[in-house]
Structure 1
Amino acid sequence: MKPSLAKGTRDFTAQEVSRRKYIINILQKNFELFGFQPLETPSFENLSTLTGKYGEEGDRLIFKILNSGEYASKVNQEDWDNKNHQKLISQISDKALRYDLTVPFARFVAMNHGKLTFPYKRYQIQPVWRADRPQKGRFREFYQCDADVVGSESLLQEVDLVQLYLKSFSDLKIPVTIHMNNRKILSGLAEYAGITDKLIEFTVALDKLDKIGKEGVVKELLEREISQKSIDKLEFLFNQSDDALENLLQLKEKFADSEIGLKGVEELEFVLTQSLNLGVDMQNLVFNITLARGLDYYTGAIFEVKADEVAMGSIGGGGRYDNLTEVFGVKNIPGIGVSFGLDRVYLVMEELNLFPEEASTQVEYLFANFGGEGTVEALKLIMQLREKGISAELYPENTKLNKQFTYAEKKGIKNLVFLGEEEIKNGTVTFKDLAAGEQKTLSLEEFLG
């Protein structure tokens, strides 16, 4: 049988693994610099923990795990005959692979809230699984990199997460813009236009502005039974200036009678002003009034990060939520979280050629195998190099030198070392820098440095 990969999964070569580790190490270092602590949760959860948390569509995309043993013998025959999959699932599966890192985090906080110190700051970098239709940039197994703070309503958390994003992407050398909005502002706009009952329809259409333009948004709003009169009141949305604070000032006037809208403006104004005070370039921070991600989840600030030089969609996102753990019976734990899109960050860095040479794992020295006494001496020297943290290996067979050269070049090894009879007699080492094509002979002391 010809081997194949399961759809939506990938093998990662040595270079890809090293480059992914390079990104993860930078993110991990910054998470810890900002006071976040690591958390890891199991790859699978009880199915009941995950079900009902992602909506109907999300529930369909959860990978269920069959119960072990004779699971089929315990199935109700009528349900089996009728192919009633909803009833069958609960009889043949009680566990599932995690769909994201947020619900397992909520479950952890709900189970341990009595032992945790609040505000509790955690980061998590682990794979998740979704039974989605695979396509370019979308996989069934992929990593999420999340950082959340729970147990604090302070807007200083938003300011800090802006700093976390900017520092992390600066360290990765990716020029980015952070788009920001606030769920309360979107609610205020719906209130101002008299379409509070159509909030979701309004924001879903508005979120498509950069893809379908003003005409497309207006057409969609009309199709969703939002009146022309309401659309006319929202005309100003399509003529925003480049000055975020000026746009917020305009909103303040519009929201004179909207308490929730004014609250949203006040919150966003605080985050923008404090970020400015900390020296953030306003070119990197944009008030995007059309940003409406995760509306069924977020209750305050909404973030989305876009790479400036690559058309890639968002490479990070997040926002504030009111109650992470209420679904698990623990109330009044507000929070805010952000995530980094590891796969998209990788693609951006690849396209912009941003990976440094040290992001690839390379062997420093390959010792040519001449057989005889030289093999033992080479192994002794290799052992000394490894003690110093320098990677080295011996070609396993005593074969043609040409074949050993080819191996070194294909593997990207930097230097080929010759330890023949002459070198052993003189206490020297000869090695060739394969990239530069230069050959040197040094004493053993010089070589080991």
Structure 2
Amino acid sequence: MAQKPSIPKGTRDFSPTEVAKRNFIIQTIREQFEKFGFQPIETPSFENSETLMGKYGEEGDRLIFKILNSGDFLKKVDDETYEGRDSLKITPSISEKALRYDLTVPFARYVVQHRNEIEFPFKRYQIQPVWRADRPQKGRFREFFQCDADVVGSDSLWQEVEFVQLYDAVFSSLGLEGVTIKMNNRKVLSGFAEVIGESDKLIDFTVALDKLDKIGEDGVKNEMQEKGISSEAIQKIQKVFDLGGTFSEKIEVLKDILEPSEVGSKGIEELEFINSAIGELGLGTATLDLDVTLARGLNYYTGAIFEVSAPGGVAMGSIGGGGRYDDLTGIFGMSGVSGVGISFGLDRIYLVLEELDLFPKTVANNIKAIFINFGSKESLYCLKAIKELRAAGVAAELYPDEAKMKKQMNHANKRDIPFVILAGVEEIEKGKFTLKNMKSGEQDSVSLEELKTKIKDE
């Protein structure tokens, strides 16, 4: 007996309805990207390993899918390395390429490689799949799409302001009200580490702090102490764990904590500028909030950090995130190019819209009308009409088989097609069609021109 086929964990098949809903989200995001002046690019699904490795921190490197070299991939492994059974030492010899982990690092590579063709500041958007060898769970997959927008070649904080507006515009267009755009600044985190005298443990500090909502205050403090940060040092920023109030109120508390730190004060200044500008410009349905525990463990963020959370009551991880990465292109030999970007989590946004029943009811209706098949002569008559309907922008089709009427009508019902069109001997003689509205049950005898009008107007 043949084994039942399956797909790898963390991947999914998508039905026509699911694809239609995903395309609705992608098109909405794409429209807003282009309204804000971003241009599309695409990069390969896999990169040279050296392009990706070492860019995401130790945790990220472990989640990169490596691609085995073609042919006899063990040929380049010497006996001593092979017998040592150390996968970290063997991997560079058997794998020279890897699936992309995100779209930001490939974008940085693109900028460096094409710098003589690019007009700076360069605003690009990219909507493509990425892969991570993560443990699958709700809202977390091994293969998923990212929808990124980035600007490189500008230090201006007005870019951050625009990204807050972009988040708001996209989620408002999707009908997803009440999202929270959480914001922080890596300079603030560096300031915390400096104030407690642990600047050399900045990464350990930020990785632990980023877990506050998952493991709680005591868990974060324990993890920090395990990394060698003393309880006395942690006590110096106790107010951070108790921080509440509005964005502006939090800023005032942080000014006092970070007053001794030049870099921390600079971070506060940047946050204050963005908050003030958004206060003047206003937002549609989103809320901007300051979250000083937000660290996003990626090594390349140097300024603003963004993370978007779904409306209250929806149990979902972040549905968007990003930040400024002043020195990212420097890793590819192009220093002095500042960048800032954000990403939308398509798959998680899909789950949120589904849970809140926010998809438009017509989003999956790709066909507006289907013609009943009564035989060869009738089918040819119908196909001439279908040709004209399609030219007029109406999606229509002919049922392919000369089956029983009941079967064809059931097919239309199951596919939720709004109109069924009948053309038998009598209709052909009169040059007419019988149009049936599947929702109301009404039937009309119409000409081809009337048919076009009635279907298009619905």
Question: Which deviates more from structure 2 when the two are superposed, residues 351-360 or residues 193-202?
Answer: 193-202
Partner of 1:244: 247
Secondary structure of the corresponding residue to residue 314 of structure 1: coil
Alignment partner of 1:260 is 2:263:
yes
- For 2:266 and 2:187, locate their aligned partners in 1 and report how far apart those are by CA, in whole Å: 7
TM-score computed with the length of structure 2 as normaliser: 0.91
Partner of 2:137: 135
1:52–1:212 distance in 2 versus 1, CA, 3 Å: closer
Residue from 360, 364, 371 that aligns with 1:367: 371
- For 2:413 and 2:434, locate their aligned partners in 1 and report how far apart those are by CA, in whole Å: 18
Residue from 123, 126, 144 that aligns with 2:125: 123
- For 2:72 and 2:216, locate their aligned partners in 1 and report how far apart those are by CA, in whole Å: 56
Shift of 1:372: 4.3
Are the aligned partners of 1:200 and 1:295 in contact in 2 as well (CA < 8 Å)? Answer: no
Secondary structure of the corresponding residue to residue 319 of structure 2: strand
- For 1:194 and 1:60, locate their aligned partners in 2 and report how far apart those are by CA, in whole Å: 30
Alignment partner of 1:278 is 2:281:
yes
The total of aligned residue pairs comes to: 449
Question: Which deviates more from structure 2 when the two are superposed, residues 280-289 or residues 370-379?
Answer: 280-289
Please, which runs of 5 or more residues in structure 1 have no aligned partner? none
1:281–1:350 distance in 2 versus 1, CA, 3 Å: closer
Secondary structure of the corresponding residue to residue 91 of structure 1: helix
**Deviation per residue, 1:209-250 (Å, 9 max, x gap):** 333444444444445444443333323223334222122123
Identity percentage of aligned residues: 56
Are the aligned partners of 2:172 and 2:285 in contact in 1 as well (CA < 8 Å)? Answer: no
Partner of 2:158: 156
Are the aligned partners of 1:302 and 1:320 in contact in 2 as well (CA < 8 Å)? Answer: yes
Partner of 2:419: 415
5 Å matches for 1:307-326?
Answer: 307-309=310-312, 310-326=314-330
- For 2:172 and 2:61, locate their aligned partners in 1 and report how far apart those are by CA, in whole Å: 37
1:41–1:221 distance in 2 versus 1, CA, 3 Å: closer
What RMSD in Å do the two structures reach over aligned CA positions?
2.2
Question: Which amino acid letter does the alignment assign opposite residue 104 of structure 2?
Answer: T
Partner of 1:377: 381
Alignment partner of 1:448 is 2:452:
yes
- For 1:238 and 1:131, locate their aligned partners in 2 and report how far apart those are by CA, in whole Å: 32
Partner of 2:238: 235
1:53–1:194 distance in 2 versus 1, CA, 3 Å: closer
TM-score computed with the length of structure 1 as normaliser: 0.93
1:229–1:48 distance in 2 versus 1, CA, 3 Å: closer
Partner of 1:357: 361
- For 1:34 and 1:247, locate their aligned partners in 2 and report how far apart those are by CA, in whole Å: 30
Partner of 1:111: 113
Partner of 1:391: 395
- For 2:214 and 2:208, locate their aligned partners in 1 and report how far apart those are by CA, in whole Å: 10
- For 1:64 and 1:318, locate their aligned partners in 2 and report how far apart those are by CA, in whole Å: 25
Partner of 1:428: 432
1:283–1:400 distance in 2 versus 1, CA, 3 Å: closer
Shift of 1:154: 0.9
Question: Which deviates more from structure 2 when the two are superposed, residues 50-59 or residues 116-125?
Answer: 50-59
Secondary structure of the corresponding residue to residue 407 of structure 1: helix
Question: Which deviates more from structure 2 when the two are superposed, residues 62-71 or residues 372-381?
Answer: 62-71
**Deviation per residue, 1:300-350 (Å, 9 max, x gap):** 111111111322121001111121111211111111111001100000111
- For 1:46 and 1:288, locate their aligned partners in 2 and report how far apart those are by CA, in whole Å: 36
Shift of 1:149: 0.8
Secondary structure of the corresponding residue to residue 306 of structure 2: strand
Partner of 2:173: 171
Partner of 1:91: 93
Alignment partner of 1:439 is 2:437:
no
Question: Which deviates more from structure 2 when the two are superposed, residues 319-328 or residues 276-285?
Answer: 276-285
Shift of 1:38: 0.7
**Deviation per residue, 1:176-210 (Å, 9 max, x gap):** 11111111112222222333344333333333333
Question: Which amino acid letter does the alignment assign opposite residue 34 of structure 2?
Answer: E
Are the aligned partners of 1:144 and 1:340 in contact in 2 as well (CA < 8 Å)? Answer: yes
Are the aligned partners of 1:183 and 1:295 in contact in 2 as well (CA < 8 Å)? Answer: no
Are the aligned partners of 2:322 and 2:342 in contact in 1 as well (CA < 8 Å)? Answer: yes
